[in-house]
Amino acid sequence: MAAGEIDNSAREMPIALELRKVGKTFRSDTGAEVRALENVSFLVHQGDFVTLVGATGCGKTTLLNLIAGLDTADDGHLQLGPGLRFGDNIAYVFQHYTLFPWRTAVSNVSFGLKMRGVPLRQRQTGAAELLNRVGLKGFEDAYPHELSGGMRQRAAIAQALAIEPKLLLMDEPFGAVDDSTRTELQQMLTDLWQENQTTVVFVTHNIDEAIVLGNRVLVFSERPGRVSCEFDISLPRPRNRVTREFTDLFIRIRKSLSGQLD
């Protein structure tokens, strides 16, 4: 699929997110204009798991911030699906966990529910169940500094899921953990997605991770970032990294990042 094209012929689910020719420019500390995004166009359907892969600095995080409403595009069209609103049913998991250091794990996870006026017992029960689902049973009363990096990210994911989001934005959430923990977190996220069918947009610079997680992989060009190529991933789950099909996909995506795709 050529960059900027939107093919909806094979997708029947309602649209969760639509971007057409979105662009964003920043002004540097020296006053120079920096074009972060240019002509970004793609669709995300409800229940889809889309991974965005590209080099550091290509505008992937900027794009997530635009989707979340934390910033605004300079040009183009960005439209969320009906009823979607950040802080209501859109959640954001950042690269570095955003837990409150003075709150326990269960208190962190239940915080969003507290803001919604959910009764104490109900929100504590719900938070404990989520911590169990992400593999943190027994750590409900632990503070962030008492948890490992991988455990903190599990808690951050549980915190995001507590509001039952319709759209989950994730910005390289596993980038700071070791390979073994990263693999565990990838499988945990896949399991949760298959259970809930939450729409996910996941940013990474790791090709392997993009293939393991996504139904689609969108490849971003170097700055100004734009969708240079799109890959549909039809490999069965759980994804086996040592198959020829996986390796072929990895090579094709790697070549596309280098501008070598035929």
pLDDT digits (tens, 9 = 90+) for 134-157: 889 999 999 999 999 889 988 998
Residue 96 lies in a domain: no
160 and 202 part of one domain:
no
**How crowded is residue 14: how many other Cβ atoms within 10 Å of its Cβ?**
10
171 and 225 part of one domain:
yes
261 and 170 part of one domain:
yes
- Domain hosting 111: range is 103-164
73 and 7 part of one domain:
yes
Cα separation, 184 vs 180, whole angstroms: 6
Mean pLDDT along residues 47-58: 91
Single residue among 164, 189, 206 that ends a domain in this structure: 164
219 and 256 part of one domain:
yes
176 and 74 part of one domain:
yes
219 and 231 part of one domain:
yes
Single residue among 164, 181, 204 that ends a domain in this structure: 164
Is residue 10 over pLDDT 70?
no
Cα separation, 101 vs 114, whole angstroms: 17
The pLDDT score that the predictor gives to residue 112 is: 84
Residue 97 lies in a domain: no
Is residue 44 over pLDDT 90?
yes
Residue 126 lies in a domain: yes
In the three-class reduction of DSSP (H, G, I as helix; E, B as strand; rest coil), residue 233 is classed as: coil
Q: Model's pTM, two decimal places?
A: 0.89
Residue 74 lies in a domain: yes
39 and 28 part of one domain:
yes
Determine how β-strand 90-93 pairs with β-strand 15-27: unpaired
175 and 59 part of one domain:
yes
Residue 9 lies in a domain: yes
Is residue 1 over pLDDT 60?
no
Is residue 132 over pLDDT 60?
yes
CATH at 82: 3.40.50.300
113 and 141 part of one domain:
yes
Average pLDDT over the chain, rounded to whole? 88
pLDDT in tens, 235-258: 999 899 999 999 999 999 999 988
In the three-class reduction of DSSP (H, G, I as helix; E, B as strand; rest coil), residue 60 is classed as: helix
Cα separation, 27 vs 33, whole angstroms: 4
- DSSP of 101-147, one letter per residue? TTS-HHHHHTHHHHHTT--HHHHHHHHHHHHHHTT-TT-TT--GGGS
The pLDDT score that the predictor gives to residue 261 is: 54
Residue 94 lies in a domain: no
Q: Say how many domains are in the chain.
A: 2
Residue 98 lies in a domain: no
Name the nearest CA neighbour of 211 among 177, 154, 169, 256: 256
Single residue among 130, 149, 164 that ends a domain in this structure: 164
159 and 169 part of one domain:
no
The pLDDT score that the predictor gives to residue 168 is: 95
pLDDT in tens, 61-83: 999 999 998 999 999 999 998 88
112 and 58 part of one domain:
no
